[in-house]
Structure 1
Amino acid sequence: MSDQTLFLAVFLGSKDNPRMKTWLALSEEERRAREREGIAAWGAWVDKHKAAIVEMGGPLGKTKNVSEQGIKDVTNALAAFTVVRSTSHDEAARIFEGHPHFTVFPGESIDVMPVLPIPHM
């Protein structure tokens, strides 16, 4: 049995974030240049941490909320996700320090949480 645990990293960002407003105010040419820079930086991050990445994940689209009241369209701050394997929660979080999500792109933060085992029924 492995001494490593799975961790879900959820990338967060909102349209109300001042960094997003600044990003959207860039000219299309400036934004495309920053996007190229960000994609290259993200690729370098992936290369550096590929041994820990279990599921690359990806960007998240529009959200449907399902509840007892039915299904409705909602807005939230969830932007993307990745799953990594690590020996500790702190080590898993450190993988995302200085990530391009917020150093190049206008993302706000990344939440990292352990994926817990399903209780036996």
Structure 2
Amino acid sequence: MPIFLAVYTMKREDLARFRAMPKAEQDAVDAKGLPLWSAWEEKNAAHLRKLGGMVGKTTRATKNGVGPGVNDFCGYVIVEAETAEAAAALFVDHPHVTVFPGDGVDVMPFLTGPDGIKSSA
């Protein structure tokens, strides 16, 4: 079965708005969202090949050197599904977009690798 990289995205202005909220409000979002995230993982365990994680600020390397980078990526997970559409459908009700200030989840097929990830096919 095909394996996909699913990248959680969040617009910088949405993250800034979330971080500007009082800590109690942020904690309330976490208290609601984190159990739902765990429930999503349990519900979709058969499709999850590697849970990945959340990521911080980007450092970019180019032919001109190393410096700060900018993108909307904030985390990833590796999933297995019949098609890209089926993989993406796993995230329609994900708390990243329904509770947290996430923008979406981009799903891309692996054309090579990933090393260490075994398909159930």
Alignment TM-score, normalising by the size of structure 1: 0.86
* Structure possessing the higher radius of gyration over alpha carbons: 1
For 1:70 and 1:31, the matched residues in 2 are separated by 37
Specify every segment of 5 or more residues in structure 1 that has no aligned partner in the other structure, as ranges. none
For 1:53 and 1:67, the matched residues in 2 are separated by 32
CA deviations on 1:35-65 (whole Å, 9 max, x unpaired) are 1211111000000001110010000122111
Compute the displacement of 1:9 (Å): 0.4
Compute the displacement of 1:10 (Å): 0.5
Compute the displacement of 1:31 (Å): 1.2
Compute the displacement of 1:101 (Å): 0.5
Match of 1:97?
Answer: 92
Over 3 Å off, 4+ runs: none
Compute the displacement of 1:22 (Å): 4.3
Match of 1:8?
Answer: 5
Specify every segment of 5 or more residues in structure 2 that has no aligned partner in the other structure, as ranges. 114-121
Give the letter aligned to residue 99 of structure 2: V
CA RMSD of aligned residues (A): 1.4
For 2:10 and 2:108, the matched residues in 1 are separated by 17
2:7 aligned counterpart, secondary structure: strand
Match of 1:87?
Answer: 82
Alignment TM-score, normalising by the size of structure 2: 0.86
Matched, 1:58 2:70: no
Aligned residues: 113
